[in-house]
Amino acid sequence: MCHGEMDPTKAGSTEDLSLGDGCGFRADYDKRPLKNTSRNIFQSRIVAGSEALPGEWPWTVSIQERWKHYCGGSILNAWWILSAAHCFIDSSSYSVKVEVGVTYFQQKKELKRVKTIFSHPLYDPNKLDYDIALLLLIEPIQFNVLKRPICLPAAGELEYDDWHTCYVVGWGTVDYNNYRVERKLRKALVLLIKFKTCQDWYEQLSWNMLCAGHEEGGPSSCQGDSGGPLVCKYVKDGLWYEVGIVSWGPVACGEKESPGVYTLVSRFVNWTIETTAAAGKPYVPDEQRLSKEEGDEEEEEEEPPSTTLSTVPNVPVVPVVPDVPDVPAVCDVPVDPDVPAVRDVPVVSGVPAVPDVPVVPVSLMFLLSLMILLFLLSLLSLLSVMSQLSNPSPPNCKLSK
């Protein structure tokens, strides 16, 4: 899978660097100095964020209608885009397009048409609960360094201590007083906020939601980034996972006790798997996750060599064909030199071919039979003679007249 590294000097190149299709992998831009850092970066729906570099967030996509960006999304695999349900209340799959591999909006676009939009059936537009949607594309995405899938966390509750270095990414307004969409993709480093803490600020918070930002104010998501990804690094494999989908927040983005609210993705992994499978293009998390394949390779190296008989537990393994020298089928048995012995009989391994019974020559058997027959004939003749002697017949005399 994707084990290669991308040369930072080639950022933005669409050359396939044999990174494979594994999710959550990207070139490491974190230590590269940003360009134009002297300009005012209090911008974008990513309030107080900074500009992203080409290929830095390759799973992020722009969802557009009438050639204009209005929501964000992320690549799950070659066929599926993950976004927020509230982005598609008044939209049809015919009018929605997805731009992939984009960092800066320009005339040259790679747009993907949408076949079907699957919003969660329990989505509540009043409470913004179950705010998640899946977009099935008409044609698959061809991956390269600018277009890659994101990993999804395991289904269930989110363990906050397992995640670090979280970013929200998107094209948004410069600040909450300016709703103009930025042309350049932006990123903002945020912190995950515990549910109980955030519930004190937002009473309508549900267990399907996640808060991220800064308690004292700072970089956050704002109008225009709805549906975009909140991604974090997983401590166990170092890959990027989408833990949240930008859903809603206060008008005053980035202020004290006003974090952004996200759909908690881990609560909807099973729904994602079931929905994609029912549509005929299944999303399989383990096939996407690069770290699992790497772990499997390490386990295979540690395991001893297996054989065809290794299915029986705790039994010594016996080779299929034993390395035993050939043994004649019949040995050490005296035979008549005039009669050929039975030889060259195939032997099945582990089973004797011929039991240890002496071999009787055919000529000897014939001789014995002949002797017995002659003895019987002699005996019969003797008995006949004795019978005649014991019963003599009267003399044959002729009477004269």
Is the alpha carbon torsion for 246, 232, 160, 198 positive or negative? negative
Greatest CA separation found in the chain? 177
Catalytic-role residue among 131, 225, 247, 258:
131
> Would strands 60-65 and 68-75 be described as parallel, antiparallel, or unpaired?
antiparallel
User: Is residue 165 situated within a structural domain?
Assistant: yes
Cα separation, 131 vs 245, in Å, equals 8
Active site residue 69: no
pLDDT of amino acid 28:
52
User: Is residue 330 situated within a structural domain?
Assistant: no
User: Is residue 178 situated within a structural domain?
Assistant: yes
Q: According to the per-residue pLDDT averaged within each range, which of 69-78, 105-114, 220-229, 351-360 is highest?
A: 69-78
User: Is residue 11 situated within a structural domain?
Assistant: no
- Name the nearest CA neighbour of 167 among 37, 317, 30, 276: 30
In degrees, to the nearest 5, what angle opens at C-alpha 242 toward C-alphas 130 and 58?
125
Cα separation, 345 vs 354, in Å, equals 9
Catalytic-role residue among 226, 247, 258, 266:
226
User: Is residue 387 situated within a structural domain?
Assistant: no
Q: Encode pLDDT of 177-189 as tens digits.
A: 555 566 788 888 9
Catalytic-role residue among 44, 50, 83, 86:
86
pLDDT of amino acid 4:
35
- How many structural domains compose the chain? 1
Q: Which domain holds residue 249?
A: 160-267
Task: Indicate if the pLDDT at residue 332 is higher than 60.
Answer: no
Active site residue 86: yes
Q: Encode pLDDT of 146-160 as tens digits.
A: 999 999 999 988 888
Active site residue 326: no
The pLDDT of 332-347, averaged and rounded, is: 44
User: Is residue 186 situated within a structural domain?
Assistant: yes
Task: Indicate if the pLDDT at residue 234 is higher than 70.
Answer: yes
- C-alpha to C-alpha distances, 292 to 23, 239, 268, nearest whole angstrom: 11, 11, 21
User: Is residue 235 situated within a structural domain?
Assistant: yes
pLDDT of amino acid 220:
56
CATH code assigned at 215:
2.40.10.10
User: Is residue 302 situated within a structural domain?
Assistant: no
Q: What is the mean pLDDT of the chain?
A: 73
